[in-house]
Structure 1
Amino acid sequence: MILDKVRIKQSFSAASLTYDSVAGLQRTVGRELLHAIDATKLTDTLLDLGCGTGFLTGELLVHSNYETVIALDIALSMLQTTQGKLSDKYRVNYICADAEHLPLAEKSIDGVYSNLALQWCRNLEVVFTDIKRVLKPEGQLVFSTFGPQTLQELKSAWATVDNYNHVNTFYSEAQLKLFLQQAGFKNSQFKSKLYISPYDSVWMLMQELKCLGAQHVIAGRNKKITTKTAMQQMILAYEKYKVSGQISATFEVISVIAKV
């Protein structure tokens, strides 16, 4: 999977003001992620990797016995939003950087936490290897990411129109497990869960994805402007499955706890 990092940065920068208004699923997943962790492990120096607008950062501040929390994101405007929310919090450091190139010292972090962000990385094996580098002995990586069933209805609807990839492809549990093993993580625990979200229309779904900054960012995609006819054909194909006046969208979330 080859992702266009420039488009990713632009998309999330543009979404910094609208993200929170439509990020209900992200908040739900983030809370469940922290509830699955032994709170006694949330100590010392913690990294929120891909912090977005700071939801998980704030939760870590409330539920941990931290000395320092580092909020890191590739989009400066997202990071600034987080900083604005947490302006009254001490011992929080903010870093604008790519998760694939962590500007952190070896064995300097006690725990790395990431909520629905790592799916935007090009090479997860490289990411996991670098996370292992910065983690202290006995440190842990805890993250959630989207799985391959995510937006399967939208993919299916577009497949009736043309052969282009209009929806991002996400890694499977088996692939994540392999990447973690290759990076040197042991005793990884996996949990997969499907969230079905209702929408009044396909346009509402697409507007939400735009507000989240989750547009199609695969490099080599069809760069031609999607025609009005093609869009109408896709919507018609999707809305054939309306129930009680609403369409549904599937989001598969894979949550992982991996230890060094």
Structure 2
Amino acid sequence: MTRDYLWSHLRDLPYFRALLRAVESRLMQEVTLPPPVLDIGSGDGHFASVTFNKKIDLGIDPAIKPTYEAIQKGAYKFLVLAEGERLPCANSSFASAVSNSVLEHVDHLEEVLTDIRRVLQPGAPLVFTVPNPGYRSQLSIPRFLRRLSLKRLAVAYEEWFMRVTRTKTLFDEEEWKTLLERVGYRVERSQRYFSPAALRTLEWGHYFGIPCYLPRWFIGRWILVPTRWNLWLTDRRIRSYYDETYSSEGTYTFYIAVRR
């Protein structure tokens, strides 16, 4: 029986984040990650705890608070505070690496990819997900503003949204291929996912999901009552986006790159 990743995320996260993570959890089931596995940007450990049946060998993240949360979730054998361009690992020490919705946030992308390559064994896969240019071009509010000939306001909103979501890189597949080949990888697969309609659900979720911050601040949880009866309407409204098939119009891209 196929696992319902949407519910696994929805009971713990704001709905817009749960939707995206659920789609990505399901995507990760399509690949094999031979151990030892390195996770670049392990965060609070929630994604790994839901997605993978076995503990990840090592999680790397530069932030203290999320790493402490990841320790509590028990999804990793080891966790280390470190920057991605200075991994505290020996050469060729990992048989695979994964990075979920992280690389778009880093400042020194080429250096990070180079150091990941250093710690991967020859032929090891790097599996990662990132938004593509559709993440910006398909936002609903700028599209509406452009229809009103308010181009400057549309651009200002896009730039504000990129800052809020800390998004620094939006490459298409050809740009990623060029970069990855330059630093010593071969792209084995790229797959777009998360339709423009799903993205707009994510976009508006940043506003409608604000009430989730209250229980997060006071009791340390995003969802006050994580039960099916409380979340059934939310589940019903977003499930079609979880169930949708992959499309060339997708606003995110899933990559498998092999270390040469």
| TM-score using structure 2 length | 0.64
| Match in the other structure for 2:46 | 55
2:122 aligned counterpart, secondary structure: strand
Residue identity over aligned pairs, in percent, reads: 23
List per-residue Cα deviations over 1:199-229 (Å, max 9, x = no partner).
5995x434649989xxxxxxxxxxxxxxxxx
Q: What pairs with 1:80-91 in structure 2 (closer than 5 Å)? A: 80-86=68-74
Which is richer in strand?
Answer: 1
Segments of 5+ residues of structure 2 without an aligned counterpart are 1-11, 163-168, 214-240, 242-248
Q: Which residue number in structure 2 is paired with residue 141 of structure 1? A: 126
CA contact (8 A) 1:128 1:179 kept: no
Q: 1:178 to 1:200 in 2, by over 3 A?
A: closer
1:205 aligned partner: 206
**Partner of 1:136: helix, strand, or coil?**
coil
Provide the C-alpha distance between the structure 2 equivalents of 1:148 and 1:172, rounded to a whole number of angstroms: 6
* 3-state DSSP of counterpart to 2:67: helix
**Counterpart check, 1:114 vs 2:99:** yes
The alpha-carbon deviation at position 135 of structure 1 amounts to 0.1
Q: Deviations over 1:161-220 (max 9, x none)?
A: 275422325222111111100011124311112332365995x434649989xxxxxxxx
Q: Aligned equivalents of 2:174 and 2:122: distance in 1?
A: 25
- 5+ residue gaps, structure 1, are 1-18, 213-247
Match for residue 13 of structure 2?
Answer: 20
Give the Cα–Cα distance (whole angstroms) in 1 for the partners of residues 201 and 183 of structure 2. Answer: 39
Q: In the alignment, is residue 178 of structure 1 matched against residue 163 of structure 2?
A: no
Distance apart, 1:105 and its partner CA: 1.6
Indicate the residue corresponding to 2:27 in structure 1: 33
Give 2:206's aligned amino acid.
L
Matched residue of 2:107: which SS?
coil
Cα deviation, 1:108-140, whole Å, max 9, x if unaligned, reads 111110111111012322222111111012211
